[in-house]
């Protein structure tokens, strides 16, 4: 089974801090994704990557950046955390192109105080 | 941008009945549509994919339909069980973006 592991289940940070969320997948998937999930808004795509060192903006990239130095690892960076970035963050991976199922981690619940 | 609507935020049904969830989309004609299940505190889990040239897809007690004219997919769970209680999400790819609906929370009452 595909395993997508997110480094933390819960994280509390302060406004203005630089925050790193890490995601690792163990199935050699080409594609990796970062979403945030908020009540009433559902899952929204922040960034995705189809290859090492490659990134594409999703629907809501503002305030975020990503890094993919190795195929199995995709990091989401909040450059200067703000309270409106308090959310559940979900990482996913998939093989091939966009018609393939995505495999999700269990999420990081991030609170910015 | 793509908009995906799922019929209701919450749906309660009696055990043994068929649950029907709706997913409507606009602004694009996707080649396929996916359905996921999400349990509290967990990430979504893929259930089914249906392509635009497939009118219907089945997997055990699950059935998905895809009407590209109506821009709608229906997700059915037959002989529902309390263990089917979860949030169900539909999703589609538009260009190189991936969009999820907000989900429908299903509760199956024993």
- What is the tens place of the pLDDT at every residue in B38-67? 999 999 999 999 988 888 999 999 999 999
Beta-bridge partner residues of B73? B23, B66
Q: What is the C-alpha radius of gyration for chain B, rounded to an integer number of angstroms?
A: 13
10 Å Cβ neighbour count for B90? 28
Are B15 and B78 in contact by the 8 Å Cβ rule? The answer is: no
Looking only at the bridges linking them, the beta strands covering A31-38 and B10-14 are unpaired
10 Å Cβ neighbour count for A30? 16
* Terminal alpha carbon distance of chain A: 37
Report whether pLDDT(A79) > 90. Answer: yes
Rounded alpha-carbon distances, angstroms, from residue B43 to A90, A93, B67, B71: 7, 12, 28, 26
10 Å Cβ neighbour count for A68? 20
pLDDT-wise least confident of A33-42, A87-96, B25-34, B52-61:
B25-34
Nearest CB among B43, B96, B100 relative to A98 is that of: B96
Query: Which positions 3-22 of B are in contact with A (Cβ < 8 Å)?
Result: none
**Mean pLDDT comparison of A1-5, A38-42, A52-56, highest-scoring range:** A52-56
Answer yes or no: do B100 and A43 touch at CB < 8 A.
yes
Q: Give which of B43, B46, B89, B97 to mutate to test A binding, by max A Cβ within 10 Å.
A: B43
Are A109 and A44 in contact by the 8 Å Cβ rule? The answer is: no
- Chain B residue numbers touching A92 (CB-CB < 8 A): 43
Report whether pLDDT(A80) > 90. Answer: yes
């Amino acid at each position: 089974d595909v395993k997508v592991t997110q480094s933390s289940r819960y994280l509390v940070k302060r406004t203005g801090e630089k925050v790193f969320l890490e995601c690792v997948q163990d199935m050699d998937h080409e594609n990796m994704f970062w979403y945030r999930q908020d009540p009433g808004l559902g899952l929204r795509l922040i960034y995705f990557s189809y290859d090492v060192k490659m990134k594409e903006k999703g629907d809501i990239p503002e305030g975020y950046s990503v890094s993919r130095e190795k195929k199995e690892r995709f990091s989401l960076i909040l450059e200067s955390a703000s309270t409106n970035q308090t959310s559940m963050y979900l990482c996913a991976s998939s093989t091939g192109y966009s018609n393939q199922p995505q495999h999700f981690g269990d999420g990081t619940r991030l609170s910015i105080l | 941008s793509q908009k995906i609507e799922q019929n209701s935020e919450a749906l309660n049904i009696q055990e043994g009945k068929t649950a029907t969830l709706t997913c409507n989309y606009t602004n694009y004609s996707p080649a396929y549509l996916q359905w996921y299940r999400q349990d509290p505190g967990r990430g979504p889990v893929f259930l089914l994919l249906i392509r635009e040239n497939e009118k219907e897809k089945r997997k055990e007690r699950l059935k998905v339909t895809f009407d590209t004219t109506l821009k709608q997919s229906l997700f059915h769970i037959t002989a529902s069980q309390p263990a089917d209680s979860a949030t169900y999400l539909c999703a589609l790819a538009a260009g190189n973006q991936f969009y999820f609906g907000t989900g429908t929370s299903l509760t199956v009452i024993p």
